[in-house]
A = this chain, B = another copy of it.
Amino acid sequence: MGIVGFCGHTGRTLLQILIHHPGVEVTYLADQDTKEFDKSNLCGIHPVRMEENFDPKEASQFADLFFLALPHTISMLFVDELLKNGKKVIDFSADFRFPDLSIYEEWYQTKHKNPELLSQAVYGLPEIFREEIKKAKLLANPGCYPTASILGLLPLIKEKLLEKEIIIDAKSGASGAGKKLTTSSTFSAINENLKAYKVNCHQHAPEIKMILERVAEKTEIDLTFVPHLIPMNKGLLTTIYVSLNKEMGTGEILNLYQKFYGSEPFVKVLGEGEFPQTRDVLGTNYCRIGVTANKNKAIIVSTIDNLMKGAASQAVQNMNIMFGWEETMGLL
């Protein structure tokens, strides 16, 4: 396997998982910060190539699948060449998440370079699209907020139990913002502080809306989404407020969730009165979910590790599915 962008938060997390994955050999690594990378983090493995600049053509000879842990708008430059060479691609960016080109171009403020590939990309949320993922050549790995949000809502959406208005109050640790340097990414700016940001204008909102509407079979959803920056390194929690189209008890909803996710290896539904903490999922591929209801209102709390189920380990789960391996391989 190859990782492009292996020195970022997500890339490093992915590298550690793949190094210990019994079915995988890491053969190719590229990152512009390769020179500063401490090779002791390779735990004794020896990739065939470690490059600063990624040349998809040349790289293609060294791996069957490439993980692109690159910023939005960069990934799309490389995918075409990789696919032409018969390689599989798991892309961490948003570049191939939206079949509807206009949504992407509006929210990411850029012209798409390879819109013709959008139709063959599969959205990599196994709990919904497992069958499509099995056959995918180009997989768009979901965003962190969408993963937690959609998994928190999926059983209710699927069973058509929701009114159209959904409110998601989301909270994430600082690694969610990547390694960019800004005045708002310093320790002093984040430590002992709390803020909402991109209030109702975060780019993950249309991603959540799109998938929920697809699951709901085109019923329109009215989504309010407000993310908050929490003074911690990792962890993501969403508190979701919905109206049901009938009165349901907490036990009834939990039953539904437990049944729905019963065979899912990485979704854990908690018992009545229990709610998840981010700490419970750190370093794991799990999503943990708690629910409470009162009359026709329900509150769902879901939590993931933003770098794991929200990025790197979910990509590995997708890889396992794409190669027909045991879905939990390397992830427990």
Chain A residues in the interface with B (C-beta under 8 A): 9, 38, 40, 43-44, 167, 169, 171, 173-175, 179, 181-183, 185-197, 199-200, 224, 226, 228, 230-235, 237, 239, 241, 268, 275-280, 282-283, 286, 290, 292, 294, 297, 299, 301, 303, 332
Given that A224-B241, A297-B224 are contacting pairs, would A186 and B181 also be in contact in the complex, using a CB cutoff of 8 Å?
yes
Copy number in the complex reads: 4
Nearest residue, chain B, Cβ from A178: B188
A238 to B259, CA, bound (A): 34
Contact A237 B181 (CB under 8 A): no
CA distance A44 to B284 in the complex (A): 14
Which of B197, B268, B286, B301 makes the CB contact (< 8 A) with A199? B301
Q: List 24 A-B contacts (CB under 8 A).
A: A38-B280, A44-B332, A169-B241, A179-B186, A185-B186, A185-B188, A186-B187, A187-B191, A187-B233, A188-B233, A191-B231, A191-B232, A192-B279, A193-B279, A194-B232, A194-B303, A195-B237, A195-B275, A196-B275, A196-B290, A196-B301, A199-B275, A199-B290, A200-B299
Contact of A278 among B40, B43, B193 (CB under 8 A): B193
- Given known A187-B185, A231-B191, contact A241–B277 (CB-CB < 8 A): no
Closest Cβ of chain B: how far from A26's Cβ, in Å? 14
Q: Which of A40, A175, A299 is packed against the most chain B CB atoms within 10 Å?
A: A299
User: How far in angstroms is the closest Cβ of chain B from A34?
Assistant: 15
Residues in B whose Cβ lies below 8 Å from that of A230: 194, 230-231
Residues of B within 8 A of A275 (CB): 195-197, 199
Let me know if B199 and A299 touch, CB within 8 A. Answer: yes
Which chain B residue lies CB-closest to A268?
A: B40
Residues of B within 8 A of A294 (CB): 200
Of the candidates B189, B192, B235, B290, the one whose C-beta lies within 8 Å of that of A232 is B192
